[in-house]
Amino acid sequence: MKTLAFNPYLPSYEYVPDGEPYVFGDRVYVFGSHDRFGGTEFCMNDYVGWSAPVDDLGAWRYEGVIYKATQDPLNVDGSQHLFAPDVQRGTDGRYYLYYCLHRTPAVCVAVCDTPVGKYEFYGHVKHEDGSLYGMSKTRKNVFNFDPGVLKDTDGTYYLYTGFSPNPGAMRDMMGKMLLIDGSYCVQLDDDMLTVKTEPKLVVPCESVAEGTSFVGHGFYEASSPRKIGGTYYMVYSSVKSHDLCYATCDTPDGDYVFGGVIMSNGDVGLVPDGAAVNYTGNNHGGLVEINGTWYIFGHRQTNQTVFSRQGIAEKVEILTDGRIPQVEVTSCGLNQGALPGSGTYEARIACNLSAKNGTFNYGQENEKAGMHPYFTQDGEDRECDGNQYIANMQDGAWAGFKYFAFDGEHKISVKVKNHAGMGNGAKGVMEVRTQKDGACVAKIAIASTDEWQTFEAEFASEKGKQALYFTYTGAGAVDFGGFTVE
């Protein structure tokens, strides 16, 4: 990479989850929903565009607002948010943006001549009789949510939607029951709007998974289809929510078979005893091939809530038999390798974060949340100097960063300050390790300070690829801004 790439891959002030990545020309584009820092609901901001050169995945460029929630005729008052979108290029060369409003079961479509120009409303996906898909008075209606669109190699388009709260049932605005038992597929006509087939359940939810390969990982949300070679892949978020799973099939609308977990935003499945090494929450993303290498895009949670999510990405390997082994979340993400051992790094790129007694899921209430560290920022939403950092590291809290290529560095420093509201402030030690439970390679004495201040110590590094783990031990709590190795 010409520019260092990190996780999260976008700037610290940007909150774009549900990322669907695509390569158009010589750039990779990510299309996602748009959370708000300090938001109280999902997806409170309008869609924005981001792109990067395929040979420089650290150089992301802001493309501006590409579509506003008020542009949809069903939402002129702006009371509904734009949920997770997907984009495909049509037979006419234009780009079609598929999305759902958060209280309407229709699939909405906007169109643009370029991937990240100003999209204009195009229509709502409909049946041949003109009734809206998901809102028909005479048909069974799918609860449309998180649309994913596949363009097959023969030029045929398929639309996948679904949402499966488990247990439970939903009714549409006319009181009719909605199909909520998994991901459904329909074929689209060349107009990119008209449904040509009846909906087919292709990935079942947990409540109807008995007797299938999906038991334990039934569909919950986030349909993301791809065709790789001659195999159709469906990436989705399972009933566990924090993971991105995949299923495969020989046809686009056949019965898919569970393949495995690609990513968990807490690395659940890679850690003994099912533990999570980051605070978990929902997940959504997709696969993309960039210059011959495959990546999975997903997101993490910040600010002690499920409503301020940020995009992360990792390299994956698709084995010759089609399997995709689970990958760990790292700090280097799209960097194509370890970060330089010498340098200054923001604490926000930590891929592991935990209190002394572990983590929890942000989608669940936790009466002890005030004892846990979390990612947050100074300033308001979308302020470019958001100054993101880790807050509230109390005794035993730790943050992990992976990976660095060390070459004999001998000094390390940390930027910290007292966490507000913790009495007399912080006084303790920041212990540094290259293995989570390994020997200390540095002990940095921390004094109480209400302003950002740097403290340093000698650092005994070994040459080669290593992680860094920072554990605070002592009184009070610190906010952790970043560190420098030299």
pLDDT of residue 250 exceeding 60, the answer is yes
3-class DSSP assignment, residue 16: coil
Give the number of other Cβ atoms within 10 Å of residue 303's Cβ: 21
Q: What's the confidence (pLDDT) of residue 166?
A: 57
Task: Write out pLDDT tens, residues 294-330.
Answer: 999 999 999 999 999 999 999 999 999 999 999 999 9
Q: Can you tell me the distance from the alpha carbon of 11 to that of 9, in angstroms, rounded to the nearest whole number?
A: 7
Q: Can you tell me the distance from the alpha carbon of 22 to that of 28, in angstroms, rounded to the nearest whole number?
A: 6
Which one from 72, 181, 206, 221 is the annotated catalytic residue? 221
Decide if 453 contacts 480 (C-beta within 8 A).
Answer: no
Domain at 20-337, CATH class: mainly beta
Q: Can you tell me the distance from the alpha carbon of 31 to that of 451, in angstroms, rounded to the nearest whole number?
A: 38
Q: What's the confidence (pLDDT) of residue 176?
A: 53
pLDDT of residue 444 exceeding 90, the answer is yes
Verify whether residue 221 is a known catalytic residue. Answer: yes
Task: Write out pLDDT tens, residues 148-184.
Answer: 999 999 999 999 999 987 544 454 444 456 788 999 9
Can you give the length of the chain in residues? 486
pLDDT of residue 350 exceeding 80, the answer is yes
Right CATH for 340-485 from 2.60.34.10, 2.60.120.260, 3.30.565.10, 3.40.50.720: 2.60.120.260
Percent of the chain with pLDDT over 90: 89
Give the number of other Cβ atoms within 10 Å of residue 177's Cβ: 12
Q: Which pLDDT band holds residue 137 (cuts at 50, 70, 90)?
A: confident
Q: What's the confidence (pLDDT) of residue 174?
A: 44
Q: Can you tell me the distance from the alpha carbon of 90 to that of 167, in angstroms, rounded to the nearest whole number?
A: 37
Q: Which two tokens stand for residue 147?
A: 């649309």
Give the Å distances, CA to CA, from 164 to 180, 218, 315: 5, 9, 29
Burial class (CB in 10 A: 0-12, 13-18, 19+), 227: middle
Sign, CA dihedral 178-130-253-161, equals: negative
List, as one string, the DSSP characters of 404-457: EEESS--EEEEEEEEPTTSTT--EEEEEEESSTTS-EEEEEEE---SS-EEEEE
pLDDT of residue 105 exceeding 80, the answer is yes
Q: What's this model's pTM, rounded to 2 decimal places?
A: 0.96
List, as one string, the DSSP characters of 321-383: TS--------SSGGGSSPEESSEEEEGGG-SEEEBTTB--BTTS--TTGGGS-EEEESSSTT-
Domain with CATH 2.115.10.20 in the chain: 20-337
Domain with CATH 2.60.120.260 in the chain: 340-485
Residues 6+ apart with CB under 8 A from 321: none
- Arithmetic mean of pLDDT over the chain: 95
Q: Can you tell me the distance from the alpha carbon of 257 to that of 249, in angstroms, rounded to the nearest whole number?
A: 6
Verify whether residue 18 is a known catalytic residue. Answer: yes
Q: What's the confidence (pLDDT) of residue 16?
A: 98
Q: Which pLDDT band holds residue 460 (cuts at 50, 70, 90)?
A: confident
